[in-house]
Structure 1
């Protein structure tokens, strides 16, 4: 919405207020549309104010104009340097008049200034009422309206006066030095001041009220043209670039302090703008010369002396600079009185001479300015002329132009100094010498790169700053160059020639000279031939690993190649100077493999070796090599392992009374290869795929081939020992088997006597630990570690006891070779294949940490390649078992309100305690896990933590809603829990319902009888603790599984479930996991999923997930 229109402003008064020149410039600004929207703010009694923004030269200015009653222009304000009634204020008023008249015309009315009575309406104003008959609706005549809109004097007014003559007056002053004692002017520097002047009535140049403010603010008063106002505006604006220490006021500006060379362009336009440049005295002329060139004249003085005179050539004239002064800092021009130098020197007031202003083609350098300060030049005595030419003339010549003005002397030709690199070639050695070459008189001399004695006199002046700059340029182009190095041999010589010389040749002021016979240094284009070999050593399991590289006609030591690779070199030199690139993928891969091989051997600093267990590493070497040369023993063992599928499967031994499935025959063949070559491994098939029968088949074959073998030792959990003896008698009745169930002390029989005549001895991990010395003292044909996760902790005594057993063959049998950490996998391999990863520390650094942190996908892939030849794993999904489906479902259990209150209250307390302990997880681990266990128990049954809590268990309520019906339909359910206290509460409920059941936990002594009750069908329900039921059970009679509480180790759960979903199962298996909603159990399920992904990543695919139970994991368990 627009403000109410204000009155038209009287154009005649506007001209009077601004002056004709400023008015015309305001008209131009208005016509070119520089005024942004004008705002009218009404005041009292018809007055008001106008405000607008106007686009100036590079800036936008704010304008405010007061308008009095009757349209009289009042005071104006503008943010431009001129201020007052400037061109921007005029343009604002004209824009207002235009908009007001157009609005009045569109509305059919009139808009006229309210002139005082009897005053004639200004030209262009709308007529008063009753005038101009015939004008429709009182609308103003278009000529009147446009005249008012565009402004300007009445056509009847006399023509405007011609602009007055104006000039820029120059004044040379000598000012006393400041900040020193005395104020005398003698010896003080001359400075150049300027001010605007106008022509007086007598024709002379006078100040006449002009100064640097009024020349633009009151331009109309002086009848200045727009071009003249602009010129003074520019000159004054440029004064902002002058030195902050220059003296100036509103009358005078010091011109020689102008820092910008734009000054010369302004002075050159003075004549075009109608401005005269005059001196202070008598209007003497001031001339702006053509751009000049500074140089030094070397002249023959009296006798044989020399004279050095600073000179400027301008427009073909040579200006002596004895009386010249500098404009700007650094100087971009000069001013000099135009008179005889002696007269100038003898004159007190230099304003009596015409003035010459000389712009310089280039700014003065520091050295040129200093030369000007000599005030007339320098004289060199005859006996010092030679020193001048030797030591000073080359420097002078480099810093400024030097001529001989009168031809009285012949100047020597000056060559710039250079840095000289001399390279002396001697076969594969290059000797380097750095020197500086300077001119001395008419000769060139060489100086050492660094002065031998910094205090000694040099034959010529050394330019330290220039030398520093050249040295920096060399270092920038070739950062590896060492100026102190004098010899480059072989590889270093190649780097010098191939890399550094091309860069050095681009450095200015550097000359390179060669002496001696230069080698060709040609590239060998043929690809290298790589041969990898193994050679037997005095140690049966370790082989020397050799790598040979042939390039062209030369054999290169792999040690040299990889030393070069380790040093980061990308090329290598052959004996004849030819070279080949190391930037090849096969070399990069070899470097990685050799580094890995060294990290795996027992003594990394010794000869490069590879262990028989490292078949996966050898396979990677073969992939890179062009050819291989293998020791016979190595070829027989490792090649068989790597080419298992191509080998003819060994016949199944006749003494095995079992029909092997196809995948079991493959497992038996793999075990046979391991056995034949004395290699251990891990049989890691899924639970229920028949790992036991595959192992028994291997024992049968071994005994058939060598009846004199010592017995095999099978180590298993205590509860599984009877199962092993039974399975051997079932599948290999010809093999005498002994089950050891007591320690030697308790049995009263030595182990040697107990094992006499046996082909297989079966014992428990407990007895192995207790009678470690006895088992260690007997030779064994082989050791089979069943449920090998029992020895997954390398710090336990059981693990150490298994490691010390005397057997050439060890096999770990487990469906879960890792559960929580990759260290568990290393622990099993350290028992069965100790040469694969000899060092736990190296394994941790190379594999465990990067993989468990999710940082290194390549490390995971590499680990799988290394382990693959020595670990066989098949899942149920990967073999055709034709098992019925296993359907799994997670059921969320809602806690009752009373149960929820108890849980939430305890959760807050335990959370506060645990979060405070996480700062030192290792030290507080026991307390932390105690709190987590408390919360897990509360999720099951509040009475497990607080016996006085009279709250029913929501999980048991849900279980027993379905269990009686399931039993009634003839199904056989298994009920698992990690907590025996909770299992016993389930047992109590079964007792109340009179449903018979079997119960098994770690304290059960007669395990076989308990199993018999369920497998024979005497009882329909089997309550099993998760730990006790995780191994050694074959429960295919069951077809329902209830997991009452989740555990963060998924392998433990899977082992328990697969007691029933395995070979022999004929019915569909239903698995239900009961999880209390909004409790720690939900977090346990999330953590379990992450651990399952780790297991899969290492054993089944290439995904990477972290597995370690960290402080962050524990925080997640406690997060609401």
Structure 2
């Protein structure tokens, strides 16, 4: 590629290739100096290509232009969005022509350097030349004239522009199938073509046709502006004109669809283009815009004549000789002559031609009317029908008037949709009707025809009705056109929200009847009052809520209904309104919904149970006033104001010194007892729950010696402890322990209980002799270790539920272990009115809380439970206990032990993963596999008796246990697996270390306990479940937990057998966990379940508790 000179490019052909407008913009770019150095690449026979970079508005574009032999511009390429022969390509060619011309006129043939403006930098003389500055300036003019195609004095003058015309030809066509022929039998069409004036002054084709007229402007008789004019006319002829039949010579104008035709014709004169008729050179006149209307006149026989008419410039167009341009039509053409002469003349071109644009495009209806030409005649006896049924429609679709004054036309009002609102106090009756013109009257039709087949007084405008209906639904989507009544808040919404929108809809009128309320807003804050009233059902009270707004009291039922329906406003009796979008109402809605969900019959009257003191407290906080029934006030207020009440005296019959927190517990229990309310005493293990319960029994018996007996239900192993504790702390009370069924004892339970103050039995015996216990009225029922009845599906739970007693107390340090359903199960026994429905409890609390989805539900649950559950931890009371130090020891499996574990892990993992698809059905098998892995973590021989692999855990335990015993310490060793405990016992036997052993099969429990507490056996081997309750082992100061369990409460219960009141020594707790085994995963799961317990009972943290398939996957993960 080089900068050698190339041929000049033909400027006229360049204009033709790019178009005049693009050529002009290219000139502007060239003159602005936007073209960078042009390079010429020669080809063969003088051809080649030009390339350059051109500065655009925001980018630099690359341009290539092919140049043919003789300087003909060929194809062009540009990187701009337009591409092709764009302004950048034109500027490139002009720059090339400029440089080529400069070289031709300078000595040496070199181009002068260009200034930024595109002009050559000149001096007094060019290097090596002799020309003067004036000669160079003359050379510049010649060069620019050549470059710009006649811009200078040397350019040839164009031909006389008045020698170009658009010729019109009116023809009668023999072919009737061509679209747009007009009326039948009158196939006139109008054609146009470009012509030029010949040498003799006549109009001739002269080589012009529609294919050549737009190309190469300036090369023939057309100026660039004329070429553009013809090209635009030709291009628009094909726009939306599928039936515009024409060839390269003629365009059929009556099929010209675009109304832009009239703008083009109006510019013809400015472009120097005449409009002429064919053959005779008669003028073609574009008239002023015409107006279409229908002239209604009285005929000679009192008939009516409807004549379609077009007036233009004060003249009436003879429509029987006129034809329409476009479809439906935007103009007319007509020979300018007597209609009779036109009808009799074969060659219509002998008449001057009138072209009439229409002020507005024709509608389909107007077009059909025009096609009737002569109009319509209405017989005299049908004139009334015409005015009643047809004249209004005709008037709406086109202009109608009376030109000769022969008849007075009725005034026609447009039809309307009428909405009549009849106000009746706080109710609005709505009626929708269509109103039409009938003759000189207005008639109304129902919104929907009563009988679609019946005649109606006027013709319905179906399309118009549909359009208006659609407008109503669009502007006021909340309005139901089928609804006829709006009451109270609905009426307010209609008036405030939708009526303003309806009133703005065209063709819709709103009418009001009756006394319309003012609908003023009440801005005073509402005053809420809550009240309770006794009902026929014991423990349940009617809950009343009233709202005062301004001077009006609004019924609670109406308020709640409005809130429940999601309404944002509500009406007072006088039509004034107030907003429901207030925090008080939002909170009221939540509390009412909760209260209703807690009822046994949610659809009945709103009620509240005495156990729901926490819920009442929140109602009370919200209300400005309360009105409480005396029975409600006595029971509920005492619970909520416990700290301000005078503490009851400790009964004299209690032979124990209560600690301060135990006195508080005794006071709380006394309030529950006095008001017949049950509850849960959930103090930490070791805080003396038993003595607090005995103090309550002593107080009750002192106040009423004739009370029926109390029933204490406890685990079998704890029954003797209860009897012993009652005799120790309350020797004046008669306590009877039941250790056999009636059948085995040979004594009726009623006889056993006769004369006793307290009967102590086990959950097992209660279940077996359920009917006997149910037949005795009990003063109260105390459920020790109440987690034994945490499953509501068990027979033991049902047996407790059916006991006849006004008071039930659950005593447990672990009111929930795995799921919130366990807490519900205990509350359903002790406070059955708090959460009557398990399903509602699950939906409202269990699921959202356990899934971690609703912190508010957790906080609400704690508020509801708080009045009926008392829990103190060891950390929250001053027990002055010695410290409890806990440590987790990771045990590394021996290589042989590790190989056995890992091999079995792979097998069990594959099996469990396949079963998790149906966890509920396969739960037992899955837990079998998990148990196998846990046993393998302890001792391989527990799974495979043939395995000769030592237990890594026992090896570690017995590295320290003999030394601990030798130093005088008393260790407890816990395991969930009795088979593993027996392995530990075997090693103690080998070492000749005495020990006590307790598991669920131990029969002489008291003797076993005595061996350890007396010091006869320094080591106590205890199964985790058997030792989790009913034991006081403060003699021990070391605890070894050989295997972790995913229920942290079980472990805590076991450890707290020693770390409790009476302990004088520091307690050391060691948890042995096999590293990289399922036990590590159990520890993590246990931690999550500990958060469940803490979240509900001790703080507000969220948790999830259910053992899910994901939990199990985690347990068997690598």
TM-score range, shorter chain: 0.7 to 0.9
SS at match of 1:244: coil
Measure how far apart 1:691 and its partner are. 1.9
Moved more, 423-432 or 833-842: 423-432
1:720, 1:734 → 2: CA distance?
21
Measure how far apart 1:799 and its partner are. 1.1
Determine if contact 1:25/1:226 at 8 Å carries over to the other structure.
Answer: no
C-alpha offsets along residues 713-738 of structure 1, whole Å, 9 cap, x if unaligned?
22222232333334334433443333
Compared with structure 1, are the counterparts of its residues 142 and 579 closer, same or farther at alpha carbon in structure 2 (3 Å cutoff)? closer
SS at match of 1:1088: helix
Measure how far apart 1:874 and its partner are. 2.3
SS at match of 1:299: strand
Measure how far apart 1:811 and its partner are. 0.5
State TM-score, norm by structure 1: 0.86
Compared with structure 1, are the counterparts of its residues 1053 and 133 closer, same or farther at alpha carbon in structure 2 (3 Å cutoff)? farther
Moved more, 760-769 or 1-10: 1-10
C-alpha offsets along residues 911-968 of structure 1, whole Å, 9 cap, x if unaligned?
3333333333222221222222223333444333233334444444555566566666
Determine if contact 2:712/2:781 at 8 Å carries over to the other structure.
Answer: yes
Measure how far apart 1:790 and its partner are. 0.6
SS at match of 1:483: coil
Determine if contact 1:176/1:188 at 8 Å carries over to the other structure.
Answer: no
Equivalent of 1:809 in 807, 810, 813:
807
Measure how far apart 1:669 and its partner are. 1.0
Measure how far apart 1:814 and its partner are. 1.2
Determine if contact 2:125/2:133 at 8 Å carries over to the other structure.
Answer: no
Determine if contact 2:893/2:1074 at 8 Å carries over to the other structure.
Answer: yes
Compared with structure 1, are the counterparts of its residues 478 and 713 closer, same or farther at alpha carbon in structure 2 (3 Å cutoff)? same
Measure how far apart 1:792 and its partner are. 0.4
C-alpha offsets along residues 491-517 of structure 1, whole Å, 9 cap, x if unaligned?
776666666655544444333444455
C-alpha offsets along residues 345-370 of structure 1, whole Å, 9 cap, x if unaligned?
44444444333433333332232222
SS at match of 1:672: helix
Compared with structure 1, are the counterparts of its residues 18 and 782 closer, same or farther at alpha carbon in structure 2 (3 Å cutoff)? closer
Moved more, 491-500 or 215-224: 491-500
Name the residue aligned to 1:891.
Answer: 889
Compared with structure 1, are the counterparts of its residues 873 and 166 closer, same or farther at alpha carbon in structure 2 (3 Å cutoff)? farther
1:469, 1:23 → 2: CA distance?
50
Q: RMSD of the alignment, in Å? A: 5.4
Compared with structure 1, are the counterparts of its residues 145 and 983 closer, same or farther at alpha carbon in structure 2 (3 Å cutoff)? farther
Compared with structure 1, are the counterparts of its residues 182 and 654 closer, same or farther at alpha carbon in structure 2 (3 Å cutoff)? closer
1:53, 1:306 → 2: CA distance?
77
Determine if contact 1:11/1:153 at 8 Å carries over to the other structure.
Answer: no
Measure how far apart 1:1101 and its partner are. 3.1
SS at match of 2:429: strand
Measure how far apart 1:683 and its partner are. 0.9
SS at match of 1:44: coil
Determine if contact 1:818/1:824 at 8 Å carries over to the other structure.
Answer: yes
2:12, 2:585 → 1: CA distance?
94
Q: Mark the runs of 5 or more structure 2 residues left unpaired by the alignment.
A: none
Determine if contact 1:9/1:113 at 8 Å carries over to the other structure.
Answer: no
State TM-score, norm by structure 2: 0.86
Measure how far apart 1:775 and its partner are. 2.6
Determine if contact 2:897/2:949 at 8 Å carries over to the other structure.
Answer: yes
Determine if contact 2:33/2:118 at 8 Å carries over to the other structure.
Answer: no
Moved more, 924-933 or 877-886: 877-886
Compared with structure 1, are the counterparts of its residues 58 and 507 closer, same or farther at alpha carbon in structure 2 (3 Å cutoff)? farther
SS at match of 1:385: helix
Measure how far apart 1:587 and its partner are. 4.7
Determine if contact 1:430/1:488 at 8 Å carries over to the other structure.
Answer: yes
Compared with structure 1, are the counterparts of its residues 624 and 880 closer, same or farther at alpha carbon in structure 2 (3 Å cutoff)? same
Moved more, 53-62 or 810-819: 53-62
Measure how far apart 1:398 and its partner are. 1.6
Measure how far apart 1:675 and its partner are. 0.8
Measure how far apart 1:837 and its partner are. 2.1
1:963, 1:1036 → 2: CA distance?
19
1:1048 and 2:1046 are equivalent in the alignment: yes
C-alpha offsets along residues 357-415 of structure 1, whole Å, 9 cap, x if unaligned?
33333332232222222224333334433332222222222222223334443322212
Compared with structure 1, are the counterparts of its residues 12 and 683 closer, same or farther at alpha carbon in structure 2 (3 Å cutoff)? closer
Compared with structure 1, are the counterparts of its residues 888 and 93 closer, same or farther at alpha carbon in structure 2 (3 Å cutoff)? farther
SS at match of 1:45: coil
Compared with structure 1, are the counterparts of its residues 613 and 171 closer, same or farther at alpha carbon in structure 2 (3 Å cutoff)? same
Name the residue aligned to 1:1017.
Answer: 1015
2:109, 2:1019 → 1: CA distance?
108
Moved more, 928-937 or 327-336: 327-336
Moved more, 1095-1104 or 52-61: 52-61
Determine if contact 1:18/1:218 at 8 Å carries over to the other structure.
Answer: no
Name the residue aligned to 1:105.
Answer: 105
Compared with structure 1, are the counterparts of its residues 57 and 686 closer, same or farther at alpha carbon in structure 2 (3 Å cutoff)? closer
C-alpha offsets along residues 70-109 of structure 1, whole Å, 9 cap, x if unaligned?
9776677999999999988654433556799999999999
Moved more, 426-435 or 1093-1102: 426-435
Determine if contact 2:179/2:243 at 8 Å carries over to the other structure.
Answer: no
Measure how far apart 1:870 and its partner are. 0.9
Moved more, 389-398 or 901-910: 901-910
1:476, 1:860 → 2: CA distance?
44
Measure how far apart 1:820 and its partner are. 1.7
2:246, 2:300 → 1: CA distance?
45
Measure how far apart 1:997 and its partner are. 4.5
Measure how far apart 1:671 and its partner are. 0.6
2:206, 2:535 → 1: CA distance?
114
Compared with structure 1, are the counterparts of its residues 544 and 112 closer, same or farther at alpha carbon in structure 2 (3 Å cutoff)? closer
Aligned length: 1114
Moved more, 324-333 or 66-75: 66-75
Determine if contact 2:781/2:807 at 8 Å carries over to the other structure.
Answer: yes
C-alpha offsets along residues 192-234 of structure 1, whole Å, 9 cap, x if unaligned?
4443333333333333333333333333432643333333443
Moved more, 822-831 or 403-412: 403-412
1:923, 1:231 → 2: CA distance?
86
Moved more, 414-423 or 3-12: 3-12
Moved more, 497-506 or 448-457: 497-506
C-alpha offsets along residues 129-172 of structure 1, whole Å, 9 cap, x if unaligned?
99999999xxxx99999889878799767667676843333344
Measure how far apart 1:591 and its partner are. 4.5
Determine if contact 1:177/1:188 at 8 Å carries over to the other structure.
Answer: no
Moved more, 769-778 or 948-957: 948-957
Measure how far apart 1:21 and its partner are. 11
C-alpha offsets along residues 775-829 of structure 1, whole Å, 9 cap, x if unaligned?
3333322211111111001111111222222322111011221122222111111
SS at match of 1:641: helix
Measure how far apart 1:679 and its partner are. 0.8
Q: Mark the runs of 5 or more structure 1 residues left unpaired by the alignment.
A: none
Determine if contact 2:181/2:188 at 8 Å carries over to the other structure.
Answer: no
Determine if contact 1:435/1:448 at 8 Å carries over to the other structure.
Answer: yes
1:35, 1:495 → 2: CA distance?
69
Compared with structure 1, are the counterparts of its residues 440 and 747 closer, same or farther at alpha carbon in structure 2 (3 Å cutoff)? closer
SS at match of 1:1029: coil
SS at match of 2:106: helix
Moved more, 16-25 or 858-867: 16-25
Compared with structure 1, are the counterparts of its residues 427 and 781 closer, same or farther at alpha carbon in structure 2 (3 Å cutoff)? closer
Compared with structure 1, are the counterparts of its residues 263 and 662 closer, same or farther at alpha carbon in structure 2 (3 Å cutoff)? farther
1:883, 1:114 → 2: CA distance?
103
1:386 and 2:384 are equivalent in the alignment: yes
Determine if contact 1:739/1:763 at 8 Å carries over to the other structure.
Answer: yes
C-alpha offsets along residues 864-898 of structure 1, whole Å, 9 cap, x if unaligned?
22222111122334334454555555555555555
Determine if contact 1:998/1:1010 at 8 Å carries over to the other structure.
Answer: yes
Determine if contact 1:235/1:263 at 8 Å carries over to the other structure.
Answer: yes
C-alpha offsets along residues 413-464 of structure 1, whole Å, 9 cap, x if unaligned?
2122233444555666665554433222222333444444433333322323
Compared with structure 1, are the counterparts of its residues 61 and 623 closer, same or farther at alpha carbon in structure 2 (3 Å cutoff)? same
Name the residue aligned to 1:720.
Answer: 718
C-alpha offsets along residues 48-77 of structure 1, whole Å, 9 cap, x if unaligned?
444789999999999864346897766779
SS at match of 1:593: helix
Compared with structure 1, are the counterparts of its residues 379 and 917 closer, same or farther at alpha carbon in structure 2 (3 Å cutoff)? same
